[in-house]
Structure 1
Amino acid sequence: MELTVRYFAAARAAAGSDTVVIDVDADTTLADLESILSADNPDLRRVLARCSYLRDSVALCDRSVTLGTCAIVDVLPPFAGG
């Protein structure tokens, strides 16, 4: 499936872009996605370890859960003050 990953704040800075579109299988886990996204970027790998995620606007916390069929994953690093 085609998946749009949207980066925010520190994740955007580490990734060097706002979004990336990749092809993944529906059985890809969140941990797999982190590995794919950070394969050549150790800075992004460190940031992703602290991030929370939204899968089509629904929180996804368990890194062993598969993405299923979805269109957008938002990558949200910890935010100060809230």
Structure 2
Amino acid sequence: MIVRYFAAARAAAGVDEETFQLPEGADVAGLLEAVLAVERPVPPAGTPPLARLLSRSSFLLNEVAVRDRATALAPDDVVDVLPPFAGG
């Protein structure tokens, strides 16, 4: 599955997107564990760590909002990470 990062999540992850191979029956929570298991460089100054951003982020599964982290995933799914943002 593909994980795409936006805004501060992109800065904290150090990449725009990455691919994960998870076992059958994996869910959003398991994907987030895999995301956090990746060794990453220190984020730029002023950017929160990825773990903190993920705890506050919203997620889209194939462009549909998903709130339940127990939601099952398929190998060809796309998960977007949308950190909190403000602006006008």
CA RMSD of aligned residues (A): 2.0
- The residue number in structure 2 matching 1:56 is 62
Higher strand share: 1
Return the alpha-carbon distance in structure 2 between the equivalents of residues 18 and 65 of structure 1. 23
- The residue number in structure 2 matching 1:37 is 35
Structure (1 or 2) with the larger CA radius of gyration: 2
Return the alpha-carbon distance in structure 1 between the equivalents of residues 77 and 68 of structure 2. 18
Q: Which moved more, 1:65-74 or 1:20-29?
A: 65-74
Listed as ranges, the gaps of 5+ residues in structure 1 are: none
- The residue number in structure 2 matching 1:72 is 78
- The residue number in structure 1 matching 2:53 is 47
Return the alpha-carbon distance in structure 2 between the equivalents of residues 66 and 52 of structure 1. 16
Percent of aligned positions that are identical: 46
Amino acid at match of 1:37: V
